[in-house]
């Protein structure tokens, strides 16, 4: 079985994340969406909320029946190895993403030579999209339609209610 891990903090999950997950699900027999529990910065949403948002986005979509969502608090390569993954899938929006992700891919390859990092270019309509931008827009009551799911939109409104 060909298994991939799509890691991230997903704070919150965006339409761009979901696009990468969906595209990866067509290339691999199984995709594990790994949600970091130890995000470097203080996340807006709890781990349970982030897991729920992703699960809500994929449930009922038969094309994503091979996608599973789990949290992890370890080295990414250890998480991937524990799931029998042969690949880590990362989305790239711009050259600036590549510089950081290339360094991480090289370190991960050193730690586990049997797990490759696969880079997927963001779809054009999501090339500008980031969780940080979504939070900034929502914080100032901007329109996030199409950038996140309805459940995330509701969560953002609650998080930023004054």
| Beta-bridge partners for 89 | 118
Instruction: Say whether pTM exceeds 0.75.
Output: yes
Strands 30-36 and 3-8, bridge-based pairing:
parallel
Per-residue pLDDT for 39 more than 60?
A: no
CB-based contacts of 13: which residues, under 8 Å, 6+ apart? 50, 53, 54, 57, 131, 148, 149, 152
Which carries the bigger pLDDT value, residue 67 or residue 62?
67
Residue 91 CA to its chain's centroid (Å): 8
pLDDT of amino acid 138: 97
> Comparing C-alpha atoms, which of 120, 144, 129, 157 is closest to residue 44?
157
* pLDDT classification of 125: cutoffs 50, 70, 90: very high
């Amino acid at each position: 079985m060909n298994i991939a891990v799509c890691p991230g903090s997903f704070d919150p999950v965006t339409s761009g994340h979901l696009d990468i997950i969906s595209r990866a699900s067509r290339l691999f027999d199984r995709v594990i969406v790994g949600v970091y529990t130890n995000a470097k910065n203080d996340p807006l949403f709890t781990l349970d909320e982030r897991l729920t948002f992703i699960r809500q986005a994929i449930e009922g979509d038969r094309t994503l029946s091979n996608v599973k969502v789990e949290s992890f608090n370890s080295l990414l390569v250890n998480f991937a190895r524990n799931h029998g993954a042969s690949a880590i899938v990362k989305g790239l929006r711009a050259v600036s993403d590549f510089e950081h992700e290339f360094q991480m891919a090289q370190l991960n390859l050193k730690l586990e030579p049997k797990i490759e990092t696969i880079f997927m270019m963001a779809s054009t309509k999501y090339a500008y999209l980031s969780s940080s931008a979504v939070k900034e827009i929502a914080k100032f009551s901007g329109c996030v339609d199409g950038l996140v799911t309805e459940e995330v939109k509701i969560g953002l409104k609650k998080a930023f209610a004054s």
